[in-house]
Chains A and B, each alone.
Chain A
Amino acid sequence: MMDEDAVANGPVGSTRTLLFRVGERVYGCDIAAVREIVPFRPATRLPGAPPYVLGLINLRGILTTVLDLGGWLEPERSPAEGGSIVLVDHGARHVGLAVDEMLDVQGIVPEPLGDVASGRGGVLKGVGRMDETVVILLDVSTLVEQVLA
Chain B
Amino acid sequence: MSDVSVEAKREGPSWLILPGIIWMALFMVVPIAMICYVSFWTQTTFNISSTPTLASWKQFFASDTYTGALWTTVRIWLIVLATTFIIGYPTALFVGLFVKSKTLSTVLLVVCVIPFWTSFLIRVLAWRPMLGKEGAINIILLKLHIITHPIEVLLFTELSVIIGMSQIYCVFMVGPIAFMLGRIDRNIIEAARDLGAGFGRIFWKIIFPLSLPGVVVGAIFVSVMVLGEFATSGALSGRKVNLLGNIIVTQVGSLKWAMASVTGVILTVVMGMVIAAFLRIVDLKQEL
**Interaction A to B:** no
| B residues in contact (CB < 8 Å) with A | none
